[in-house]
Amino acid sequence: MKVVVCVKQTPSTTADFNVENGVVSWDDPGGKPNIVNPWDEYAVEEAIRLKENHGASDAIALSMGGASSAEALKTCLAMGCTEAILVNDEAFTGSDSLGTARVLAAAINKVGDVQVALFGKQAIDGDSGQTVVQVARKLAWTPLTFVSAIKEIGGGSITVERLLDEGKEIVKAPLPVVLGTVKELNEPRYPSFMGIRKASRATIPEWTAADLEIDGAYGSEASKVDWSTVYALPPREGEVEIIDAGSASENAEILVEKLFAEKVI
């Protein structure tokens, strides 16, 4: 049984953004502008645990992106993934979530014998969370999203706990499945020193469109969605009003007055 985890390289969580003519660029004061999408770390950790504790033969990290995404894949290798594959082609640029889903589904099919494909809940750049279910549709596998625990896996099926708006659901489905994960699932490990050394020497294979049997359209031409207009958030108006009248109870009374006047109580 192989396990695949799909990861995306995203801007760092502390990056400063700049938008000019709809083109977004960023830099990070900490000097590391790109990271593994934080939501994906839980999926990577779970993929490694499925290998360590549940007899998966491989935990393969897969990323669709430009050459720099190899860095994100090296982080996955350093954490303990057994293999990493970069899916990279000029022609993929500008794909919408459905085009991306077609490419990722083709790559998962090419890996072959995959029983579980793991994803993070969403990526912190596009923040859409659409790809998980759409990859499942393209593979015709069961999607199980918002997974907060894997209760049981084996005998051709999986039982998971899902963290839904209304509560926790336990659901069982036959393998193969596509899993969307949430933070409660686990605590991602830090890459080990040995892992980092090994990963730094790894050559990451690249698959292009020609290597894959992609069923349907991808790339910017085929995109059904236009998201070309991007702009900075208008700054919050006004400055903070610090309430400093004296004692805690005096301050509290003034604040309560103001909040009633704002009609938010």
Partner 1 sequence: MSGVWVYVESRDGKISTIAREAIGAARMVADELVEDVIGLVFGEDVHGVADAAFDLGCDEVIGADDATLKDGRVEAIGPLVVALAREHEPDVIIAGASTLGRDLTSWVAADLDTGLVSDCIALEVDGETIKATRPVYAGKLLSTVFVKEGAQVISLRSRAFAQAESTGGSGTADWVDPVLEEDDIPSKVIGFEEKGGGVSLTDASIIVSGGRGVGGPEGFEPVRELAKVLGAAVGASRAAVDAGWIPYEHQVGQTGKTVSPDLYIACGISGAIQHQAGMRTSKVIVAINKDPEAPIFKLAQYGIVGDLFQVLPALNEAFSERLG
Minimum distance between the CB of residue 110 and partner 1, rounded to whole angstroms? 20
Question: Do 159 and 166 touch, CB atoms closer than 8 A?
Answer: no
Residue 189 makes contact with partner 1 by CB under 8 A: no
Binding mask 11-40 for partner 1 (x = CB under 8 A): x-xxx-x-x----x-x-----------xx-
Q: For the CA atoms of 217, 219, 220, 226, what is the dihedral angle to 10 degrees?
A: 70
Residue 119 makes contact with partner 1 by CB under 8 A: no
Contacts of 207 (CB under 8 A, 6+ apart): 85, 86, 87, 88, 107, 110
Among 71-79, 97-105, 109-117, 191-199, the segment contacting partner 1 (CB under 8 A): 97-105
C-alpha dihedral sign at 180, 183, 186, 191: positive
Among 10-18, 60-68, 81-89, 111-119, the segment contacting partner 1 (CB under 8 A): 10-18
Using CB under 8 A as the binding criterion, the count of chain residues that bind partner 1 stands at 81
Among 52-60, 78-86, 207-215, 254-262, the segment contacting partner 1 (CB under 8 A): 254-262
Binding mask 201-240 for partner 1 (x = CB under 8 A): ---------------x------xxxxx-xxxxx--x-x-x
Question: Do 171 and 206 touch, CB atoms closer than 8 A?
Answer: no
What is the token pair recorded at 106?
A: 């083709």
Residue 167 makes contact with partner 1 by CB under 8 A: yes
DSSP-derived secondary structure letter, 211: G
Residue 244 makes contact with partner 1 by CB under 8 A: yes
Residue 190 makes contact with partner 1 by CB under 8 A: no
Question: Do 176 and 118 touch, CB atoms closer than 8 A?
Answer: no
With CB under 8 A as the contact rule, the residue among 64, 101, 149, 199 that binds partner 1 is: 101
Parallel/antiparallel/unpaired status of strands 142-154 and 177-181: parallel
C-alpha dihedral sign at 61, 64, 70, 72: negative
Q: Which parts of 136-165 interact with partner 1 (CB under 8 A)? A: 137-138, 142-146, 159, 162-165
